[in-house]
Structure 1
Protein backbone atom coordinates (compact mmCIF):
# COMPACT_ATOMS: atom_id res chain seq x y z
CA UNK A 1 0.00 0.00 0.00
CA UNK A 2 1.37 3.41 -1.01
CA UNK A 3 1.73 6.30 1.46
CA UNK A 4 -1.16 8.26 -0.11
CA UNK A 5 -3.53 5.32 0.30
CA UNK A 6 -2.39 4.66 3.89
CA UNK A 7 -2.90 8.30 4.82
CA UNK A 8 -6.35 8.36 3.23
CA UNK A 9 -7.33 5.29 5.26
CA UNK A 10 -5.93 6.82 8.46
CA UNK A 11 -8.04 9.96 7.97
CA UNK A 12 -11.19 7.93 7.30
CA UNK A 13 -10.57 5.80 10.40
CA UNK A 14 -10.06 8.90 12.53
CA UNK A 15 -13.41 10.32 11.46
CA UNK A 16 -15.08 7.18 12.85
CA UNK A 17 -12.97 6.42 15.92
CA UNK A 18 -11.55 9.75 16.99
CA UNK A 19 -8.16 8.31 18.04
CA UNK A 20 -5.75 5.71 16.64
CA UNK A 21 -2.67 3.97 18.06
CA UNK A 22 0.58 3.74 16.11
CA UNK A 23 0.99 0.07 17.03
CA UNK A 24 -2.48 -0.79 15.69
CA UNK A 25 -1.84 1.10 12.44
CA UNK A 26 1.51 -0.63 12.02
CA UNK A 27 -0.17 -4.03 12.33
CA UNK A 28 -3.06 -3.10 10.03
CA UNK A 29 -0.86 -1.81 7.20
CA UNK A 30 1.98 -4.31 7.81
CA UNK A 31 4.57 -1.54 7.91
CA UNK A 32 7.01 -0.39 10.57
CA UNK A 33 5.97 2.00 13.34
CA UNK A 34 8.51 4.47 11.93
CA UNK A 35 6.61 4.46 8.60
CA UNK A 36 3.35 5.15 10.45
CA UNK A 37 5.00 8.00 12.36
CA UNK A 38 6.12 9.55 9.08
CA UNK A 39 2.56 9.30 7.73
CA UNK A 40 1.16 10.95 10.87
CA UNK A 41 3.80 13.69 10.76
CA UNK A 42 2.87 14.55 7.17
CA UNK A 43 -0.84 14.66 8.00
CA UNK A 44 -0.22 16.76 11.11
CA UNK A 45 1.88 19.23 9.11
CA UNK A 46 -1.12 19.98 6.88
CA UNK A 47 -3.47 20.25 9.88
CA UNK A 48 -5.43 17.10 9.12
CA UNK A 49 -4.84 15.39 12.48
CA UNK A 50 -3.29 15.94 15.91
CA UNK A 51 -0.39 13.84 17.21
CA UNK A 52 -0.87 12.43 20.71
CA UNK A 53 1.28 10.10 22.81
CA UNK A 54 1.43 6.77 20.98
CA UNK A 55 -0.88 7.74 18.16
CA UNK A 56 -3.09 10.41 16.60
CA UNK A 57 -6.45 12.10 17.14
CA UNK A 58 -8.89 14.06 15.01
CA UNK A 59 -7.76 17.62 14.33
CA UNK A 60 -10.96 19.03 15.84
CA UNK A 61 -14.05 18.07 17.77
CA UNK A 62 -16.65 15.94 16.03
CA UNK A 63 -19.16 18.65 16.99
CA UNK A 64 -17.73 21.14 14.48
CA UNK A 65 -17.32 21.30 10.72
CA UNK A 66 -14.24 19.36 9.58
CA UNK A 67 -11.79 21.55 7.61
CA UNK A 68 -12.11 21.64 3.84
CA UNK A 69 -8.58 20.25 3.35
CA UNK A 70 -9.52 17.15 5.34
CA UNK A 71 -12.84 16.58 3.58
CA UNK A 72 -11.15 16.95 0.20
CA UNK A 73 -9.08 13.81 0.92
CA UNK A 74 -11.94 11.62 2.15
CA UNK A 75 -14.17 9.31 0.07
CA UNK A 76 -12.90 10.72 -3.23
CA UNK A 77 -13.86 7.67 -5.34
CA UNK A 78 -17.36 7.61 -3.83
CA UNK A 79 -17.82 11.31 -4.54
CA UNK A 80 -16.82 10.86 -8.19
CA UNK A 81 -19.31 7.99 -8.59
CA UNK A 82 -22.04 10.06 -6.96
CA UNK A 83 -21.21 13.02 -9.21
CA UNK A 84 -21.54 10.89 -12.35
CA UNK A 85 -24.95 9.65 -11.19
CA UNK A 86 -26.11 13.18 -10.35
CA UNK A 87 -25.03 14.44 -13.78
CA UNK A 88 -27.21 11.74 -15.36
CA UNK A 89 -30.22 13.17 -13.48
CA UNK A 90 -29.90 16.50 -15.29
CA UNK A 91 -31.15 17.29 -18.79
CA UNK A 92 -29.41 19.74 -21.11
CA UNK A 93 -31.11 23.12 -21.13
CA UNK A 94 -32.13 22.93 -17.48
CA UNK A 95 -31.59 25.60 -14.84
CA UNK A 96 -29.75 24.19 -11.85
CA UNK A 97 -28.61 25.30 -8.39
CA UNK A 98 -25.40 23.61 -7.26
CA UNK A 99 -23.96 23.58 -3.74
CA UNK A 100 -20.31 23.72 -2.79
CA UNK A 101 -18.07 21.55 -0.65
CA UNK A 102 -16.01 18.66 -1.94
CA UNK A 103 -19.01 16.73 -3.28
CA UNK A 104 -20.33 19.83 -5.03
CA UNK A 105 -16.95 20.26 -6.69
CA UNK A 106 -17.06 16.66 -7.90
CA UNK A 107 -20.51 17.29 -9.40
CA UNK A 108 -19.26 20.48 -11.07
CA UNK A 109 -16.41 18.53 -12.68
CA UNK A 110 -18.92 15.98 -13.99
CA UNK A 111 -20.99 18.80 -15.52
CA UNK A 112 -18.18 20.56 -17.41
CA UNK A 113 -19.21 20.94 -21.06
CA UNK A 114 -22.94 20.51 -20.39
CA UNK A 115 -25.52 22.92 -21.81
CA UNK A 116 -26.90 24.11 -18.48
CA UNK A 117 -27.56 27.31 -16.59
CA UNK A 118 -26.05 26.78 -13.14
CA UNK A 119 -26.40 29.03 -10.13
CA UNK A 120 -23.24 28.18 -8.16
CA UNK A 121 -23.43 28.67 -4.40
CA UNK A 122 -19.66 28.35 -4.09
CA UNK A 123 -16.72 30.11 -5.72
CA UNK A 124 -14.75 26.89 -6.35
CA UNK A 125 -17.77 25.36 -8.09
CA UNK A 126 -18.23 28.51 -10.20
CA UNK A 127 -14.59 28.44 -11.30
CA UNK A 128 -14.83 24.80 -12.40
CA UNK A 129 -18.00 25.39 -14.42
CA UNK A 130 -16.75 28.67 -15.92
CA UNK A 131 -14.04 26.72 -17.76
CA UNK A 132 -16.71 25.56 -20.23
CA UNK A 133 -18.30 28.04 -22.67
CA UNK A 134 -21.26 25.67 -23.04
CA UNK A 135 -22.29 26.25 -19.42
CA UNK A 136 -23.90 29.48 -18.31
CA UNK A 137 -22.77 30.24 -14.75
CA UNK A 138 -24.72 32.48 -12.39
CA UNK A 139 -23.43 33.75 -9.02
CA UNK A 140 -25.76 35.06 -6.32
CA UNK A 141 -24.76 37.95 -4.11
CA UNK A 142 -23.75 37.43 -0.52
CA UNK A 143 -20.74 37.10 1.74
CA UNK A 144 -17.96 34.61 0.90
CA UNK A 145 -17.17 32.25 3.78
CA UNK A 146 -13.45 31.98 4.44
CA UNK A 147 -11.90 28.61 3.43
CA UNK A 148 -15.22 27.12 2.31
CA UNK A 149 -15.76 29.87 -0.31
CA UNK A 150 -19.52 29.36 -0.16
CA UNK A 151 -21.84 32.35 -0.65
CA UNK A 152 -24.14 33.13 2.25
CA UNK A 153 -26.25 35.89 3.72
CA UNK A 154 -29.38 37.85 2.88
CA UNK A 155 -28.20 38.90 -0.58
CA UNK A 156 -27.67 35.27 -1.64
CA UNK A 157 -31.08 34.27 -0.32
CA UNK A 158 -32.73 37.24 -2.06
CA UNK A 159 -31.14 36.37 -5.42
CA UNK A 160 -32.49 32.83 -5.16
CA UNK A 161 -35.96 34.08 -4.19
CA UNK A 162 -36.10 36.15 -7.41
CA UNK A 163 -35.70 33.07 -9.66
CA UNK A 164 -37.14 29.62 -10.27
CA UNK A 165 -34.93 26.62 -11.08
CA UNK A 166 -35.57 23.15 -12.47
CA UNK A 167 -33.27 21.25 -10.09
CA UNK A 168 -31.33 21.90 -6.91
CA UNK A 169 -28.31 19.66 -6.32
CA UNK A 170 -27.88 19.82 -2.55
CA UNK A 171 -24.93 18.63 -0.48
CA UNK A 172 -25.30 18.03 3.25
CA UNK A 173 -23.19 17.36 6.34
CA UNK A 174 -25.54 14.84 7.92
CA UNK A 175 -28.54 12.63 7.16
CA UNK A 176 -30.58 11.22 10.02
CA UNK A 177 -34.10 9.79 10.14
CA UNK A 178 -35.15 12.00 13.05
CA UNK A 179 -33.04 15.13 12.41
CA UNK A 180 -33.40 15.03 8.62
CA UNK A 181 -30.84 16.83 6.45
CA UNK A 182 -28.41 18.98 8.41
CA UNK A 183 -25.48 21.33 7.85
CA UNK A 184 -22.69 22.56 10.14
CA UNK A 185 -22.96 26.26 9.35
CA UNK A 186 -26.12 28.27 10.10
CA UNK A 187 -25.64 30.65 7.16
CA UNK A 188 -25.06 27.82 4.70
CA UNK A 189 -28.16 26.03 5.98
CA UNK A 190 -30.26 29.17 5.44
CA UNK A 191 -29.09 29.45 1.81
CA UNK A 192 -29.81 25.75 1.25
CA UNK A 193 -33.36 26.21 2.56
CA UNK A 194 -33.82 29.19 0.23
CA UNK A 195 -32.54 27.13 -2.72
CA UNK A 196 -34.85 24.24 -1.88
CA UNK A 197 -37.84 26.60 -1.85
CA UNK A 198 -37.26 27.80 -5.44
CA UNK A 199 -36.40 24.50 -7.17
CA UNK A 200 -38.89 22.21 -8.85
CA UNK A 201 -36.84 19.16 -7.84
CA UNK A 202 -34.09 18.47 -5.31
CA UNK A 203 -31.35 15.86 -5.73
CA UNK A 204 -29.15 15.33 -2.67
CA UNK A 205 -25.55 14.26 -3.36
CA UNK A 206 -24.11 12.69 -0.24
CA UNK A 207 -21.52 9.98 0.47
CA UNK A 208 -22.47 7.14 2.82
CA UNK A 209 -20.35 8.44 5.73
CA UNK A 210 -22.92 11.23 6.27
CA UNK A 211 -25.77 8.80 7.03
CA UNK A 212 -26.58 8.48 10.72
CA UNK A 213 -24.83 11.81 11.35
CA UNK A 214 -26.39 15.03 12.64
CA UNK A 215 -24.84 18.47 12.15
CA UNK A 216 -25.79 21.72 13.91
CA UNK A 217 -28.33 23.37 11.60
CA UNK A 218 -31.40 21.68 10.14
CA UNK A 219 -32.12 22.12 6.43
CA UNK A 220 -35.18 19.96 5.80
CA UNK A 221 -36.86 16.63 6.47
CA UNK A 222 -35.96 13.57 4.38
CA UNK A 223 -39.35 13.70 2.69
CA UNK A 224 -38.77 17.28 1.52
CA UNK A 225 -36.28 16.21 -1.17
CA UNK A 226 -36.88 14.05 -4.22
CA UNK A 227 -33.80 11.84 -4.50
CA UNK A 228 -30.73 11.06 -2.39
CA UNK A 229 -27.77 9.67 -4.36
CA UNK A 230 -25.05 7.95 -2.34
CA UNK A 231 -22.39 5.24 -2.72
CA UNK A 232 -22.21 1.46 -2.42
CA UNK A 233 -20.79 1.56 1.14
CA UNK A 234 -24.18 2.55 2.58
CA UNK A 235 -25.34 -0.07 5.09
CA UNK A 236 -28.64 -1.82 4.36
CA UNK A 237 -30.18 -0.75 7.68
CA UNK A 238 -29.30 2.90 7.04
CA UNK A 239 -30.87 2.76 3.60
CA UNK A 240 -34.01 1.18 5.05
CA UNK A 241 -34.19 3.82 7.80
CA UNK A 242 -33.84 6.65 5.27
CA UNK A 243 -36.53 5.09 3.07
CA UNK A 244 -38.83 4.80 6.08
CA UNK A 245 -38.30 8.52 6.65
CA UNK A 246 -39.60 9.29 3.16
CA UNK A 247 -36.35 9.37 1.16
CA UNK A 248 -35.82 7.85 -2.29
CA UNK A 249 -32.26 6.57 -1.84
CA UNK A 250 -30.31 5.55 -4.95
CA UNK A 251 -26.87 3.94 -5.07
CA UNK A 252 -24.30 5.30 -7.52
Structure 2
Protein backbone atom coordinates (compact mmCIF):
# COMPACT_ATOMS: atom_id res chain seq x y z
CA UNK A 1 0.00 0.00 0.00
CA UNK A 2 1.42 3.39 -0.97
CA UNK A 3 1.17 6.60 1.08
CA UNK A 4 -1.81 7.96 -0.86
CA UNK A 5 -3.87 4.79 -0.31
CA UNK A 6 -2.88 4.66 3.37
CA UNK A 7 -3.83 8.29 3.94
CA UNK A 8 -7.15 7.73 2.18
CA UNK A 9 -7.96 4.89 4.58
CA UNK A 10 -6.86 6.99 7.55
CA UNK A 11 -9.29 9.75 6.54
CA UNK A 12 -12.19 7.38 5.94
CA UNK A 13 -11.67 5.63 9.30
CA UNK A 14 -11.33 8.97 11.09
CA UNK A 15 -14.55 10.18 9.48
CA UNK A 16 -16.36 7.18 10.97
CA UNK A 17 -14.76 7.19 14.43
CA UNK A 18 -13.71 10.79 15.07
CA UNK A 19 -10.39 9.92 16.76
CA UNK A 20 -7.46 7.60 15.97
CA UNK A 21 -4.22 6.62 17.74
CA UNK A 22 -0.80 6.43 16.08
CA UNK A 23 -0.05 3.05 17.66
CA UNK A 24 -3.28 1.60 16.30
CA UNK A 25 -2.59 2.93 12.79
CA UNK A 26 0.99 1.71 12.86
CA UNK A 27 -0.16 -1.82 13.70
CA UNK A 28 -2.99 -1.77 11.18
CA UNK A 29 -0.83 -0.70 8.24
CA UNK A 30 2.34 -2.49 9.42
CA UNK A 31 4.48 0.64 9.18
CA UNK A 32 6.51 2.58 11.74
CA UNK A 33 5.12 5.22 14.08
CA UNK A 34 7.28 7.74 12.23
CA UNK A 35 5.59 6.89 8.92
CA UNK A 36 2.16 7.43 10.47
CA UNK A 37 3.32 10.72 12.00
CA UNK A 38 4.41 11.88 8.53
CA UNK A 39 1.02 10.87 7.10
CA UNK A 40 -0.82 12.78 9.81
CA UNK A 41 1.41 15.83 9.39
CA UNK A 42 0.69 15.93 5.66
CA UNK A 43 -3.06 15.53 6.17
CA UNK A 44 -3.04 18.24 8.84
CA UNK A 45 -1.18 20.59 6.46
CA UNK A 46 -4.03 20.06 3.98
CA UNK A 47 -6.59 20.91 6.68
CA UNK A 48 -8.03 17.40 6.66
CA UNK A 49 -7.48 16.50 10.33
CA UNK A 50 -6.00 17.84 13.57
CA UNK A 51 -3.10 16.08 15.23
CA UNK A 52 -3.21 15.38 18.96
CA UNK A 53 -0.73 13.87 21.40
CA UNK A 54 -0.49 10.28 20.20
CA UNK A 55 -3.00 10.48 17.36
CA UNK A 56 -5.47 12.62 15.42
CA UNK A 57 -9.07 13.87 15.49
CA UNK A 58 -11.41 15.26 12.86
CA UNK A 59 -10.50 18.76 11.72
CA UNK A 60 -13.98 19.94 12.74
CA UNK A 61 -16.76 18.76 14.98
CA UNK A 62 -19.34 16.49 13.40
CA UNK A 63 -21.84 19.34 13.93
CA UNK A 64 -20.20 21.46 11.23
CA UNK A 65 -19.79 21.18 7.46
CA UNK A 66 -16.61 19.24 6.57
CA UNK A 67 -14.28 21.16 4.23
CA UNK A 68 -14.50 20.40 0.50
CA UNK A 69 -10.89 19.21 0.43
CA UNK A 70 -11.79 16.49 2.92
CA UNK A 71 -15.04 15.46 1.25
CA UNK A 72 -13.36 15.03 -2.11
CA UNK A 73 -10.97 12.48 -0.51
CA UNK A 74 -13.72 10.44 1.16
CA UNK A 75 -15.60 7.57 -0.54
CA UNK A 76 -14.26 8.57 -3.98
CA UNK A 77 -14.93 5.17 -5.58
CA UNK A 78 -18.52 5.13 -4.33
CA UNK A 79 -19.12 8.65 -5.63
CA UNK A 80 -17.79 7.69 -9.05
CA UNK A 81 -20.10 4.66 -9.22
CA UNK A 82 -23.05 6.81 -8.13
CA UNK A 83 -22.18 9.35 -10.82
CA UNK A 84 -22.26 6.66 -13.53
CA UNK A 85 -25.65 5.47 -12.26
CA UNK A 86 -27.14 8.98 -12.22
CA UNK A 87 -25.88 9.94 -15.68
CA UNK A 88 -27.47 6.79 -17.15
CA UNK A 89 -30.86 8.24 -16.14
CA UNK A 90 -30.42 11.45 -18.16
CA UNK A 91 -31.48 11.50 -21.81
CA UNK A 92 -29.83 13.65 -24.47
CA UNK A 93 -31.69 16.92 -24.93
CA UNK A 94 -32.76 17.22 -21.29
CA UNK A 95 -32.47 20.39 -19.26
CA UNK A 96 -30.77 19.63 -15.95
CA UNK A 97 -29.89 21.43 -12.73
CA UNK A 98 -26.74 20.00 -11.15
CA UNK A 99 -25.52 20.59 -7.60
CA UNK A 100 -21.93 21.00 -6.50
CA UNK A 101 -19.83 19.30 -3.85
CA UNK A 102 -17.56 16.33 -4.47
CA UNK A 103 -20.41 14.13 -5.73
CA UNK A 104 -21.65 16.87 -8.06
CA UNK A 105 -18.18 17.24 -9.56
CA UNK A 106 -17.99 13.47 -10.11
CA UNK A 107 -21.33 13.60 -11.94
CA UNK A 108 -20.18 16.56 -14.06
CA UNK A 109 -17.11 14.59 -15.11
CA UNK A 110 -19.34 11.73 -16.27
CA UNK A 111 -21.53 14.20 -18.21
CA UNK A 112 -18.72 15.56 -20.38
CA UNK A 113 -19.62 15.02 -24.03
CA UNK A 114 -23.38 14.72 -23.43
CA UNK A 115 -25.90 16.83 -25.40
CA UNK A 116 -27.64 18.49 -22.47
CA UNK A 117 -28.44 21.92 -21.12
CA UNK A 118 -27.02 22.00 -17.59
CA UNK A 119 -27.52 24.75 -15.03
CA UNK A 120 -24.52 24.37 -12.73
CA UNK A 121 -25.06 25.51 -9.16
CA UNK A 122 -21.31 25.48 -8.51
CA UNK A 123 -18.26 27.01 -10.22
CA UNK A 124 -16.28 23.74 -10.07
CA UNK A 125 -19.10 21.91 -11.83
CA UNK A 126 -19.40 24.65 -14.46
CA UNK A 127 -15.65 24.50 -15.10
CA UNK A 128 -15.77 20.73 -15.69
CA UNK A 129 -18.72 21.01 -18.08
CA UNK A 130 -17.15 23.84 -20.07
CA UNK A 131 -14.72 21.27 -21.46
CA UNK A 132 -17.64 19.75 -23.39
CA UNK A 133 -18.65 21.64 -26.58
CA UNK A 134 -21.74 19.43 -26.81
CA UNK A 135 -23.07 20.68 -23.47
CA UNK A 136 -24.84 24.00 -23.04
CA UNK A 137 -23.82 25.37 -19.65
CA UNK A 138 -25.79 27.88 -17.59
CA UNK A 139 -24.99 29.43 -14.20
CA UNK A 140 -27.58 31.18 -12.02
CA UNK A 141 -25.50 34.17 -10.92
CA UNK A 142 -25.74 35.64 -7.45
CA UNK A 143 -23.22 35.30 -4.65
CA UNK A 144 -20.55 32.58 -4.55
CA UNK A 145 -19.76 30.85 -1.25
CA UNK A 146 -16.06 30.91 -0.46
CA UNK A 147 -14.53 27.45 -0.26
CA UNK A 148 -17.60 25.66 -1.61
CA UNK A 149 -17.82 27.79 -4.77
CA UNK A 150 -21.60 27.29 -4.84
CA UNK A 151 -24.06 29.95 -5.98
CA UNK A 152 -26.31 31.23 -3.20
CA UNK A 153 -28.61 34.13 -2.45
CA UNK A 154 -31.82 35.75 -3.74
CA UNK A 155 -30.43 36.53 -7.23
CA UNK A 156 -29.60 32.86 -7.86
CA UNK A 157 -32.99 31.78 -6.50
CA UNK A 158 -34.80 34.25 -8.82
CA UNK A 159 -32.87 32.95 -11.83
CA UNK A 160 -33.95 29.38 -11.10
CA UNK A 161 -37.56 30.53 -10.76
CA UNK A 162 -37.47 31.84 -14.36
CA UNK A 163 -36.93 28.36 -15.84
CA UNK A 164 -38.47 24.90 -15.87
CA UNK A 165 -35.98 22.02 -15.91
CA UNK A 166 -36.55 18.36 -16.71
CA UNK A 167 -34.34 17.01 -13.92
CA UNK A 168 -32.64 18.27 -10.78
CA UNK A 169 -29.65 16.21 -9.65
CA UNK A 170 -29.46 17.02 -5.95
CA UNK A 171 -26.55 16.21 -3.66
CA UNK A 172 -27.16 16.40 0.08
CA UNK A 173 -25.21 16.43 3.32
CA UNK A 174 -27.53 14.04 5.14
CA UNK A 175 -30.60 11.84 4.67
CA UNK A 176 -32.94 10.72 7.44
CA UNK A 177 -36.39 9.23 7.03
CA UNK A 178 -37.80 11.62 9.66
CA UNK A 179 -35.65 14.74 9.27
CA UNK A 180 -35.59 14.45 5.48
CA UNK A 181 -32.94 15.76 3.10
CA UNK A 182 -30.72 18.25 4.93
CA UNK A 183 -27.72 20.52 4.32
CA UNK A 184 -25.08 22.02 6.59
CA UNK A 185 -25.46 25.52 5.15
CA UNK A 186 -28.85 27.27 5.13
CA UNK A 187 -28.04 29.29 1.98
CA UNK A 188 -27.23 26.09 0.09
CA UNK A 189 -30.47 24.57 1.36
CA UNK A 190 -32.45 27.55 0.03
CA UNK A 191 -30.93 27.17 -3.45
CA UNK A 192 -31.74 23.46 -3.42
CA UNK A 193 -35.36 24.21 -2.52
CA UNK A 194 -35.57 26.69 -5.41
CA UNK A 195 -34.08 24.15 -7.84
CA UNK A 196 -36.52 21.51 -6.61
CA UNK A 197 -39.52 23.76 -7.28
CA UNK A 198 -38.23 24.54 -10.80
CA UNK A 199 -37.70 20.90 -11.82
CA UNK A 200 -40.06 18.15 -12.95
CA UNK A 201 -37.97 15.30 -11.54
CA UNK A 202 -35.57 15.12 -8.58
CA UNK A 203 -32.66 12.66 -8.58
CA UNK A 204 -30.82 12.54 -5.25
CA UNK A 205 -27.19 11.38 -5.33
CA UNK A 206 -25.40 10.62 -2.07
CA UNK A 207 -23.08 7.96 -0.69
CA UNK A 208 -24.26 5.59 2.02
CA UNK A 209 -22.43 7.40 4.86
CA UNK A 210 -24.97 10.25 4.58
CA UNK A 211 -27.93 8.06 5.57
CA UNK A 212 -29.21 8.14 9.13
CA UNK A 213 -27.57 11.56 9.56
CA UNK A 214 -29.09 15.02 10.02
CA UNK A 215 -27.52 18.33 9.04
CA UNK A 216 -28.54 21.85 10.05
CA UNK A 217 -30.91 23.09 7.33
CA UNK A 218 -33.85 21.13 5.90
CA UNK A 219 -34.28 20.98 2.14
CA UNK A 220 -37.29 18.68 1.80
CA UNK A 221 -38.86 15.42 2.90
CA UNK A 222 -37.26 12.24 1.60
CA UNK A 223 -40.25 11.61 -0.67
CA UNK A 224 -39.41 14.77 -2.62
CA UNK A 225 -36.89 12.53 -4.41
CA UNK A 226 -38.13 10.58 -7.42
CA UNK A 227 -34.90 8.57 -7.38
CA UNK A 228 -32.12 8.08 -4.84
CA UNK A 229 -28.74 6.82 -6.05
CA UNK A 230 -26.26 5.47 -3.51
CA UNK A 231 -23.65 2.74 -3.04
CA UNK A 232 -23.57 -0.91 -2.02
CA UNK A 233 -22.82 -0.12 1.65
CA UNK A 234 -26.33 1.21 2.28
CA UNK A 235 -27.63 -0.56 5.42
CA UNK A 236 -30.40 -3.09 4.82
CA UNK A 237 -32.83 -1.37 7.19
CA UNK A 238 -32.43 1.95 5.37
CA UNK A 239 -32.97 0.25 2.02
CA UNK A 240 -36.16 -1.34 3.35
CA UNK A 241 -37.41 1.99 4.73
CA UNK A 242 -36.84 3.73 1.41
CA UNK A 243 -38.56 0.95 -0.51
CA UNK A 244 -41.53 1.06 1.89
CA UNK A 245 -41.76 4.82 1.22
CA UNK A 246 -41.97 4.11 -2.50
CA UNK A 247 -38.39 5.13 -3.32
CA UNK A 248 -36.50 1.94 -4.11
CA UNK A 249 -32.85 3.11 -4.14
CA UNK A 250 -30.53 2.68 -7.10
CA UNK A 251 -27.51 0.82 -5.72
CA UNK A 252 -24.17 1.19 -7.51
Q: Into which bin does the TM-score normalised by the smaller protein fall?
A: over 0.9
Q: How many residue pairs get matched?
A: 252
Distance change in 2, residues 1:216/1:246 (3 Å):
farther
In the alignment, does 2:162 pair up with 1:154? no
**Cα deviation digits, residues 203-232 of structure 1 (max 9, x gap):** 011011111111100011111110000011
- 2:96 corresponds to which residue? 96
- 1:3 corresponds to which residue? 3
**Cα deviation digits, residues 82-133 of structure 1 (max 9, x gap):** 1111110000000000000000000000000100000000001001101111
- 1:205 corresponds to which residue? 205
Q: Tell me how far 1:247 sits from its aligned partner.
A: 2.8
**Cα deviation digits, residues 111-162 of structure 1 (max 9, x gap):** 0010000000000100110111100001102100001000000011101111
SS at match of 1:63: coil
In the alignment, does 2:120 pair up with 1:120? yes
Give the alignment of 1:21-36 within 5 angstroms.
21-36=21-36
Separation in structure 1 between the aligned mates of residue 238 and residue 24 of structure 2, nearest angstrom: 28
Unaligned runs of 5+ in 2: none
In the alignment, does 2:111 pair up with 1:132? no
TM-score by length of 1: 0.98
- 2:51 corresponds to which residue? 51
In the alignment, does 2:252 pair up with 1:235? no
Q: Tell me how far 1:246 sits from its aligned partner.
A: 4.3
In the alignment, does 2:53 pair up with 1:70? no
- 2:38 corresponds to which residue? 38
- 1:166 corresponds to which residue? 166
The answer (yes or no) to whether the contact 1:176–1:242 under 8 Å persists in 2 is no
The answer (yes or no) to whether the contact 2:239–2:248 under 8 Å persists in 1 is no
SS at match of 1:196: helix
Unaligned runs of 5+ in 1: none
RMSD: 0.9
Is 111-120 or 237-246 further displaced after alignment? 237-246
Give the alignment of 1:205-224 within 5 angstroms.
205-224=205-224
TM-score by length of 2: 0.98
Q: Which runs of 4+ in 1 moved over 6 A?
A: none
Separation in structure 1 between the aligned mates of residue 148 and residue 230 of structure 2, nearest angstrom: 22
The answer (yes or no) to whether the contact 1:177–1:245 under 8 Å persists in 2 is no
